[in-house]
Structure 1
Amino acid sequence: MTLHMPAETAAQDRVWMAFPSSGYTLGDTEAEAEAARDTWAAVARATSEFTPVTVVVTSAQTEQAQAHLGEGINHEITIVNAELDDAWMRDIGPSFVIDEAGALRAVDWVFNGWGAQEWATWDHDEHIGRFVADLAGTPVVSSDLRNEGGGFHVDGEGTVLATRSVQLDPGRNPGLTEADVEAEFARTIGAKKVIWLDHGLHRDNQTFGTRGHVDIVAAMPGPGVVLIHDQRNPEHPDFEFSRTLKEQFASETTADGTPFEVVPIPAPEVLRDEEGWVDYSYVNHLVTNGGVIACTFDDPMDAEAAAVLERVYPGRKVVGVDARELYARGGGIHCITQQQPSIG
């Protein structure tokens, strides 16, 4: 069986999300819980302008989800029930691929709480990939790789971005080599070339991070084009990493040998929050049909970043959603969404 994962710019039938239900995602107070619900719902509503959205919600949070999402009023948002630990659908959901006959399939990675982190639970979330695939009526391609959707990025033509600190993490895949991961990526998502980054952003490699997801670092908006998180302030620990990434991609090629056009997209000017150095990133956006759902941070760089996205996604409407409440909980807009490509 030959499989390939379409680029995120390909036509989509649906976007899948999960609704915050418990733990640190909701926070310690009702005000924090409402901030989380409001932000997840804002992303769902913005996405639904372009693509139908299905949101997985725990039974205990159904009324809250209905109130925030407007199901029944906004007919492009549907609620389904399943138990959840967390709300990062990019990571707990399946990665949709197309087989050689043009049929949709869903790769179900092994989810183990971002490398069995002490603060994570995943008794429910490890089943969400298959749950979503079943609702989509899609055959499952099982993988033994401990992996998350935010841990890799594809251009739809065989080029894959990944980080050694994720797929080769001893907490995820002890003993696996780059060649082992590349072979599994070739089998499941049609990888022809994997471009390895050493790690992710500074904050994402701290205690409550993912250990280095690529989807806040770099993205390929089209074949031969790469967006790079550009931290321009030398005070921030990601400054040198951004420089290294630009140098790396200046000498990299795609799977078919095309040199990359490197497009820096600025980091926000804000450097710190109450927890330390921020990993705010405009790279972490959702492309869906005629739209781009982009992170904003009430920051002077919001406008410049939007202009970059408009340039690399011509003909699509860039819609900003304030993502600070997402990043306070560990991720961005790309992290809470998972696209289902169209077939036929």
Structure 2
Amino acid sequence: MTYRLLPEWYPQDGIQLTWPRPDGDWAPLLARIEATLERIVVATARYQRVLICVPDEATKERLVTTFNAYGVADNRLLLIVAPTNDTWARDHGPVSVIDEQGLMMMLDYTFTGWGGKFPAERDNRLTQWLADAGVWACPVTSRDLVLEGGGIETDGEGTLLTTEACLLNPNRNPTLSREDVEAQLAQDFGVDRVLWLANGHLEGDDTDSHIDTLARFCNSTTIAYVRCDDPNDPHYNALAAMEQELQAFRQRNGEPYQLIPLPWPQACFDPDDGHRLPATYANFLIINQAVLVPTYGDPADVAALQALADAFPNHTLIPIDCVSVIRQHGSLHCLTMQLPKGTLARGTLAATATC
């Protein structure tokens, strides 16, 4: 059976979010991150469903009241009490593939907290836990390969875009060569081309250069990417080298990709210890008929929205303030995982089963 990795613009049942625990890393910023997540839910629920994994019954009941007050329809929400470590659904969520008959399957990769940097045992078990709770409408297959959703991009037509710093990092799969990794990607995703970026990084990023912080497919022929235009910025050389790599990449027909440079926001620094935070406009989320775009209260926000409007002429662009999100070294896309059509079982917020 041959499966194909779906691009983010494939029709979706919904998105998955993982709500922060009161005693987790978000504790000092809990009210702020919850406000950001609420905006994501309200915006997304206009178009599709939202699955939210919550830490306890009290949080579930509070969110039911909150979203009722916001006017979110009950049939757009599914709240499940589930044990988790953190909020980064992009990396502990399932990766969806489809076969030649249109049947869906979810791949449950091993999540180690980005190479063992942070505790991840509960997050690593979450996809199977949700399967046992009856949340999914398709089978789940576990994979030993260490891989995060934020580390891969696809055009949906057999091409994968990724970074060497992440997928070839010895903190992920130390016994596998590049050829081994490519063979596994070909088997799981039906890809026959892997475009490897050797350059590009963001200070403050814990993921070892996830592709979704740097360059993203907007459609099968278009890639939006971050470009630094300040020669004095420490990112300048690496991102300029990455831009040259993207310019050299070719589509399957030999044509260059249409490249859309995204502006460079002013440097953001943590107010407590002064380290730089990974603000990036590449961390947008494509949903049905809309694109949620991270913003940072920066003059470049408008330019980023304009650039992505050109890439998504048939979508509504919705800005989401992510100043608080980057305090924990991620952004909007990192918080979410899209659930393609055929993956999410029917139900409403009343179906808040726990195992």
Aligned ranges 1:8-87 → 2 under 5 Å: 8-23=8-23, 25-28=25-28, 32-59=29-56, 61-70=59-68, 73-75=71-73, 76-87=76-87
What does residue 300 of structure 1 align with? 299
Aligned-partner Cα distance in 1 for 2:277–2:236: 12
1:130 aligns with 2:123: no
Q: Distance in 1 between matches of 2:291 and 2:221?
A: 19
Change (3 A) 1:82 1:24: closer
Q: How does 1:1-344 map to 2 (within 5 A)?
A: 1-23=1-23, 25-28=25-28, 32-59=29-56, 61-70=59-68, 73-75=71-73, 76-117=76-117, 120-133=118-131, 134-198=134-198, 200-205=200-205, 209-274=206-271, 275-343=274-342
Whole-angstrom distance in 1 between the partners of 2:276 and 2:288: 34
User: Which residue does 2:353 correspond to in 1?
Assistant: none
Contact 1:90–1:338 (CA<8 Å) still a contact in 2?
yes
What is the alpha-carbon root mean square deviation over aligned residues? Answer: 2.0
- Are the aligned partners of 1:3 and 1:100 in contact in 2 as well (CA < 8 Å)? yes
1:204 deviates by 4.3
Query: 2: distance between equivalents of 1:22 and 1:258?
Result: 50
Q: 1:64: how far off?
A: 4.1
| Structure 2: distance between partners of 1:24 and 1:212 | 24
Alignment CA distance shift 1:85-1:264 (3 Å): same
Distance 2:122 2:15 in 1: 20
Alpha-carbon offset, residue 33 of structure 1: 1.1
CA–CA distance in structure 2, aligned partners of residues 210 and 263 of structure 1: 24
Q: Is the 8 A contact 1:202 1:237 kept in 2?
A: no
Q: CA deviation digits over 1:240-272, x for unaligned, max 9?
A: 122111111111113454321121111212354
* Structure 2 CA distance for partners of 1:113 and 1:220, relative to 1, 3 Å: same
Q: Which amino acid aligns with 1:89?
A: A
- Shift of the alpha carbon at 1:235? 2.5
1:148–1:199 Cα change, 3 Å = farther
Relative to the length of structure 1, the TM-score reads 0.92
CA 1:143 to 1:254, structure 2 compared with 1: closer, same or farther past 3 Å? Answer: farther
SS of corresponding position for 1:65? helix
Q: 1: CA distance between counterparts of 2:69 and 2:159?
A: 38
Measured after TM superposition, the shift of residue 73 of structure 1 is 4.5
Aligned-partner Cα distance in 1 for 2:173–2:332: 26
Alpha carbons of structure 1 residues 270 and 263: separation in structure 2 relative to 1, 3 Å: same
Q: Give the Å deviation of 1:96.
A: 1.0
Structure 1 residue identity aligned to 2:64: Q
User: Is the partner of 1:203 in helix, strand or coil?
Assistant: coil
Q: Larger RCO: Structure 1 or Structure 2 (Cα < 8 Å, ≥ 6 residues apart)? A: 2
The separation in 2 between residues aligned to 1:180 and 1:268, in whole angstroms, is 37
Deviations 1:152-207 (A, max 9, x none): 111111111111221222221112111111111111122221111225423245xx
Matched residues in 1 for 2:240 and 2:65: separation?
A: 45
Q: Which runs of 5+ in 1 are unaligned?
A: none
Identity %: 28
* Structure 2: gaps spanning 5 or more residues: 344-355
Q: CA deviation at 1:108?
A: 0.6
**d(CA) in 2 for partners of 1:67, 1:201:** 41
